Amino acid sequence: MSIKKVFAAALACMAVGSSTAWSQTYTCSGGKSQQMGSAGGYDYELWSQDGVGNATMTLNPSDANGGGFSVQWSGTVNMLARSGKRWGSNSTVTVQNVGNITAEFEVEWSSTDNVKYVSVYGWGYYDKQDIPSGFSNEIEYYIIQDRGSYNPTQGGQRFGSATIDGIEYDFFTTDRRNQPSLSGTSTFKQYWSIPKSTSQHRTKGTISISKHFEAWAKAGMKMGKLYEVASMKIESYTGQGGNAKGSATVKKNLLKIGGPVNPDEYSLTTSVSPAGAGTVTKSPSNTSYAKDASVQLTATPATGYKFVGWSGDATGTTSPTSVTMSKNLTVTAKFELMSGDGTTNLLKDGDFSSSSVIADDGASWKLGQGTNWGSSVATSSVAGGTASINVTTIGTEAYQPQLVQYGLALDSSMKYKLTFKAKADVARKIEASFQQSVDPWGGYASKEFDLTTTEQTYEYVFEMTKASDPESQFAFNLGQATGNVSISDVKLVHTTTSSISASRGISAPLISVVGGTLNVSSVAGSKLQVTVVDVHGKVKADFNTAGTAVNAKNGQYSVPLPKVKAGIYFVKVQSAGQSYASKILVH
C-alpha cells in the first residue's frame, strides 16, 4: 500500500525568491502530479498520484511555528503533503553525525479516508555492508502520530518496541517490491514506528526523531545516510477509485537539528580542511559524550598532504590530541598539500566502474534531461570505464542536458585541477562547470572544451575565489549539439601549480618514468626546469633541459634517477612562467 512518489532532483516548481515564497500555493490536478520548493528554510512537496483529482497546498512558514502549511484534497488516489529538510541523494548527512533531531507539531485534520497518516516521514540509505539481499539501498521510513483505521504494518516483521516521548511504539519493517522509489522503481524496505495503542494517537506534541533512529538501530533496523527528514507529513490513500476527500492544517512544524540526542550530553563535530585532504577520527567514537569526558582526536593526512594543526575547539599542531567535553565542540583538522597534485579524487566514481553510478537519484552521477532540463532528451550507458551520453534533443539553455554530480565540497582559496578523457562521434564542444547546487545557482568556474573524434585528455585548473561551499555541483554541460559524447577517467584534485595550457588536449603524457629514467617531452621546443620532490616535499632531483647532463632527442629529454628510491614522487615542470605538475611512481 504505500506511497508512491518519485522525487525529482531538480525542483518541479520552485518558489521565485524568498520574498515571494510566503503563502505560496501548490496545486496538483489535471495530470500534474508533483510540486516542490522551499520557503522559510523548509523544503516542501505536494504529490498526487497521476495528477488525479485536486490537491492544493498553501505554504505558511514562520519563525515561531516553522514549516507550517495547509492542504485540501478531493478525488485523489494517493496524496501527500509535507515539509522538513531535504539533503538529497548525494547527502553526506547520516543518522550518526546529524546530531539531535526533534519536531514540535500541531495539526488539525479531517478526512473520511480509510488510509491516512499524520507522521514524520523520509528516505534514507543502508550502508553498503547492511543492504539486505534482494533489496536496494533505499529505506522509506515513518514515525506515525495519527492514522485512520488501516494499520500499514500488517504482515510486516516486528523488531521490538520502546517508549519515546511517553508513547509506546512498536517497530516494524515491511517490504515494497517493484514500487516507485527514489531511484525510479525498486524493491526496498520500509521502517515504521507506530503507537502500540490507538489511544496514544495524537495531533500535537514533541517528536524526538533521533531517539527513534537510535531505537531502530538497537533493534537491528540499521540506517546510514539520510536523504531527508520530513518532520510533518499528511497522507491519504484510497486507490484507483479516486474518491478521497479531506483537509489538514499544520499549525506548527518546528524542526530542530543539531546537538546531542541526550540533553545531558555534549556533541563533538569534526571536519577536515580542505575537504578530501585527510581524515580525523574520534576515540571513543560516539554520537554524544558525558560532561568532562576526554576524547582523543587523530588527524591522518592523505598521501601528498601534511597535517598542519587544529582549529575550532582544539589548538596546536600535535596529533593525536585530546579535548574535554565541557560543551558542544567543533574541531577542524587542517592539512596542506605539499607539492604538485593531490592524490585524492574529490569526485565520486569518475572511473565509471558500472552502469549503476549514473541514475536519476541515489547515485554519484545524474543525467539531467527531460522536463526540468529544458525538455532536452538524452540517454546514458556505461561500458569499460567510459560513460556514453547520446544527446538527441538539446534543451532551451546551453547547459541542457548535463551529466551532473552533487555534494562536491569546494574550499575557498584552494586551487583545483580537473582532468578527464573525452571524444565525440563528430567534432563538438562541451563545458565543464562548478557552481552552487541551489538557488541562485551562482557559478564558481567553467571552461569550454573542443572535442574531436579521437580520445584526448583534457585539463582545467582553477582557484575557488568565492566562500567555501560544502555542497556545490560539478557538471558536464552538453547542450551545444546533439550526438554521442564519451567521457572517462574524470578526476578533480587539489593542486599547487597552474597548467601549461588550462584547457588544451594532451595527446601524450608530458612526464613518464621508464627503467629508472625520467622522460620529459618539451612543449613547443621550450626549455624546461624540472624538479622532483618526494611526498614530504624534499627535492630529490633538479635540472634544466638546457643542461649538458640531459640527454635530448627530438624534443624528448631524459635523465637517470640513480639516487631516487622506489616510491611516489611529484614532478614539477616550469616553462616561461607557467608550470605543470604530475605524480610519478618509481619502481
Query: What is the tens place of the pLDDT at every residue in 523-552?
Result: 544 566 777 766 555 667 777 766 544 555
pLDDT at 556 over 80: no
Q: Is 336 a catalytic residue?
A: no
CATH topology for 511-586?
Immunoglobulin-like (2.60.40)
The distance of Cα 481 from the centroid of its chain, to the nearest Å, equals 28
pLDDT at 580: 61
Within 126-266, strands assigned E span 138-147, 157-164, 167-181, 184-195, 204-208, 228-237, 245-257, 265-266
Question: Is residue 387 over pLDDT 90?
Answer: yes
Compute the CA torsion angle 107, 112, 115, 119 (nearest 10 deg): 0
Q: Is 228 a catalytic residue?
A: no
Q: Which of 183-197, 226-240, 463-477, 497-511 has the lowest mean pLDDT?
A: 497-511
Catalytic residue among 140, 214, 228, 459: 140
Q: How confident is residue 385, by pLDDT bands cut at 50, 70 and 90?
A: very high
As a whole number of angstroms, the longest Cα–Cα distance in the chain is: 92
- pLDDT-based confidence at 496, cuts 50/70/90? confident
pLDDT of residue 363: 75
Task: Indicate the SS3 state at residue 20.
Answer: helix
Is the pLDDT score of 290 beyond 50?
yes
Q: Which of 45, 214, 235, 265 is catalytic?
A: 235
Question: Per CATH, which fold does 85-257 belong to?
Answer: Jelly Rolls (2.60.120)
Nearest to 114 by CA among 202, 1, 5, 27: 1
Tally of CA atoms within 13 A in the half-sphere of 322 that contains its CB? 8
Specify the pLDDT at position 582: 66
What would the mean pLDDT of 395-405 be, rounded to a whole number? 91
**What's the whole-model pTM score?**
0.52
- Average pLDDT rounded to a whole number, residues 8-34: 56
Q: What confidence score (pLDDT) does residue 13 get?
A: 29
CA torsion through residues 239, 154, 46, 367, sign: negative
Domain boundaries, the chain: 85-257, 265-337, 355-506, 511-586
Options 2.40.50.700, 3.40.50.300, 3.40.50.620, 2.60.120.260; CATH for 355-506 is 2.60.120.260
More confident residue, 179 or 240: 179
Residues 150-162: pLDDT tens digits?
899 988 899 988 8
Position 12 confidence tier, pLDDT thresholds 50, 70, 90: very low
pLDDT at 286: 80
pLDDT of residue 249: 97
Give yes or no for residue 386 having a pLDDT over 80.
yes
pLDDT averaged over every residue in the chain: 84
